[in-house]
């Protein structure tokens, strides 16, 4: 549903309710009051089982559009997301802020996410709710209703009845002790006196000496993986050539604490040599930053849905790409949400396993891992990580090379470019779709041109990136120029078949257009010339019109 339709649907409500609020907010609106509404609407959306609630600026209590001038500048409006994030529990922010130019004035639609399951949302430390149109403190009963939602089963914490220490790999236990000590260095004297059973309890791998699924995953012997059936503890590494054909493969199972490192070593992290140009770049770097490989791999181990079956795959392409994939939906919802919040995720699929991996220094819980991956790639001038969250799985593609070194260097030198800006421009370069809000923002900043879905880097960015030629190829030439070429051709040769005109025009059309769109463009040019009375059809050819022109 587009923004105009959303607005009309919301205006059609007979009155305000717990999940829809109208405010005139013609110019100013107190940010503290806005935060209270965010908390209240978020909590009410959760209680009603909705995905989001709505706060509208520029609409009065009678549902009449009156327009608002609240934060008219795009950057100021977008900065509101961070202002909300900084003072809400779980660091939640708006899903989106939609700007609608209604005939009666500008309207802002604040799309507010429902409070996460089990976690009511507070603003400045206080929890708010709604009773009809009124806003007030969230009552105790409603708060407990939200908190009790988080009492869900954790697959990784289940005890493997009948399993014992004999099912665990002694080398894996020894490695676990070593990495645990690095993270908890103050326990150096005490750790040596712990038995294996005590250590595993302290490291949160076992529960009162009972072997959990998390313990089998990370420390189990290969033959002990049957305790996890029907789940799989498999990581498959594949090597594919430039044509996508499989050249080599290997499967890795328990203990994943050891074998995750074996997968890392299997990846051919070749040296990548930059073009020698001053001192801006080092002469030689690894294709893949080690942090990125380990973060992507350990995230897959920690967060995959083991009950869905399947396995983790790591596909290495010889053209300099790595693809990590694991079954299970992406609980935070979007990668953009993770980057913006830059905080721990309040809910985990495998909480017990995640806590164990934190203790073994495999992952952290400060919530900055994904953002750090983006920053590392940006600083190396490599394409940003590319996530695909479709089909109930998480897939991330890492590119280990510079695609356009001039573009990358100059883009990084542009002043005032935030990580968000670079992420969006990276999508444009990769010809990935943009939301209407993203496209509008980039156009306002002068970063892109073109029409949906064929956006391309603007002249402003092209001038920084020395990609002026690419810009012209994407923008194309004025229609009048193409028309003149067609008329000159027909005048010179008397007639022209469509095939002749295609040969004349197609390679001069914008590169951003695909073959079908180019074909339609030529057809439209010919029809326009016909309507203007300049050319006319004769059989399967075109000739100059017999009318004077």
The answer, yes or no, to whether residue 483 has pLDDT greater than 70, is yes
Kindly report whether the global pTM for this prediction surpasses the value 0.75. no
C-alpha–C-alpha distance, residues 134 and 16, integer Å = 10
Q: How many other C-beta atoms are found inside a 10 Å radius of the C-beta of residue 133?
A: 13
Q: CA torsion, points 535, 538, 541, 543, in degrees to nearest 10? A: -30
CATH dotted code for 3-150: 3.30.950.30
If you average pLDDT over every residue of the chain, what do you get? Answer: 85
Higher-scoring residue by pLDDT: 6, 340:
6
What are the residue boundaries of the structural domains of the chain, listed by start? 3-150, 155-228, 405-475, 479-544
The DSSP line for 370-412 is: HHHHHHHHHHTTPPPPEEE--TTEEEEEEE-S-S-HHHHHHHH
pLDDT of 86 reads 87
Domain 479-544 is of which CATH architecture? Orthogonal Bundle (1.10)
* Structure confidence at residue 422 as a pLDDT band (50, 70, 90): confident
Tell me which residue of 481, 548, 474, 542 sits closest to 511, measured CA to CA: 474
Q: What is the mean pLDDT of residues 178-191?
A: 89
Asked if the domains at 3-150 and 479-544 fall in one CATH topology, the answer is no
* Structure confidence at residue 224 as a pLDDT band (50, 70, 90): very high
If you ran DSSP here, which 8-state letter would residue 17 be given?
B
Q: How far is CA 512 from CA 396, 400, 486, in A?
A: 25, 25, 22
C-alpha–C-alpha distance, residues 196 and 211, integer Å = 12
C-alpha–C-alpha distance, residues 127 and 46, integer Å = 13
Q: Do the strands 496-497 and 20-23 form a parallel or antiparallel pair, or are they unpaired? A: unpaired
Q: State in Å, rounded, how far the first CA of the chain is from the last one.
A: 47
C-alpha–C-alpha distance, residues 198 and 219, integer Å = 15
Task: Report phi then psi at 403, rounded to 5.
Answer: -85, -45
The answer, yes or no, to whether residue 354 has pLDDT greater than 70, is yes
Lowest mean pLDDT among 206-220, 278-292, 346-360: 278-292
Q: What is the mean pLDDT of residues 419-443?
A: 81
C-alpha–C-alpha distance, residues 516 and 453, integer Å = 14
Q: What is the mean pLDDT of residues 86-103?
A: 88
């Amino acid at each position: 549903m587009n923004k105009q339709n959303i607005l009309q649907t919301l205006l059609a409500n007979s009155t305000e309710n717990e999940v829809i609020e109208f405010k005139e907010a013609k110019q100013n609106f107190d940010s503290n009051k806005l935060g209270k509404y965010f908390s209240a609407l978020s909590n009410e959306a959760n209680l009603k089982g909705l995905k989001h609630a709505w706060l509208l600026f520029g609409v009065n209590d009678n549902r009449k559009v009156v327009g608002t001038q609240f934060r008219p500048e795009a950057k100021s409006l977008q900065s509101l997301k961070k202002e909300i994030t900084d003072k809400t529990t779980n660091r939640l922010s708006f899903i989106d802020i939609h700007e609608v130019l209604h005939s009666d004035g500008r309207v802002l639609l604040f799309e507010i996410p429902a409070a996460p399951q089990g976690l009511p949302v507070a603003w400045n430390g206080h929890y708010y709710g709604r009773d009809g149109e009124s806003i007030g403190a969230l009552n105790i009963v409603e708060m407990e209703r939200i908190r009790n939602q988080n009492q869900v089963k954790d697959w990784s914490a289940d005890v493997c009845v009948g399993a014992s220490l004999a099912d665990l790999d002694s080398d894996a236990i020894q490695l676990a002790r070593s990495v645990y000590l690095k993270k908890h260095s103050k326990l150096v004297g005490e750790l040596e006196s712990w038995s294996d059973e005590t250590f595993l309890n302290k490291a949160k791998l076992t529960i009162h000496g009972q072997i959990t699924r998390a313990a089998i995953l990370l420390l189990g012997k290969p033959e002990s993986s049957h305790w996890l059936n029907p789940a799989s503890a498999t990581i498959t590494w594949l090597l594919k050539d430039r044509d996508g054909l499989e050249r080599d493969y290997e499967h890795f199972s328990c203990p994943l604490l050891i074998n995750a490192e074996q997968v890392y070593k299997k990846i051919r992290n070749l040296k990548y040599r930059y073009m020698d140009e001053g001192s801006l770049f080092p002469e030689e770097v690894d294709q893949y930053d080690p942090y990125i490989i380990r973060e992507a791999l350990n995230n897959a181990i920690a967060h995959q849905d083991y009950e869905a079956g399947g396995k983790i795959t790591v596909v290495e392409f010889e053209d300099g790409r790595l693809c990590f994939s694991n079954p299970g939906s992406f609980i935070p919802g979007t990668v953009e949400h993770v980057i913006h919040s830059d905080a721990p995720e309040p809910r985990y699929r495998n909480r017990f396993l995640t806590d164990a991996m934190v203790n073994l220094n495999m992952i952290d819980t400060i919530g900055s891992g994904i953002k750090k991956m983006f920053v590392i790639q940006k600083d190396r001038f490599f394409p940003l990580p590319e996530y695909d969250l479709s089909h109930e799985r998480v897939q991330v593609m890492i590119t280990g090379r510079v695609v356009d070194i001039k573009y990358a260097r100059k883009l990084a030198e542009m002043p005032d470019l935030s990580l968000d800006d670079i992420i969006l421009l990276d999508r444009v370069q990769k010809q990935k779709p943009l939301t209407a809000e993203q496209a509008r923002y980039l156009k306002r900043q002068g970063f892109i041109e073109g029409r949906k879905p064929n956006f391309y880097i603007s002249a402003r960015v092209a001038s920084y990136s020395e990609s002026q030629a690419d810009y012209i190829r994407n923008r194309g030439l004025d229609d009048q120029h193409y028309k003149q070429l067609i008329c000159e051709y027909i005048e010179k040769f008397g007639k022209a078949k469509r095939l002749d005109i295609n040969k004349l025009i197609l390679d001069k059309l914008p590169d951003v257009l695909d073959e079908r769109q180019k074909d339609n463009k030529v057809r439209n040019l010919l029809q326009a010339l016909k309507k203007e009375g300049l050319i006319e059809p004769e059989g399967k050819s075109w000739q100059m019109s017999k009318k004077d022109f």
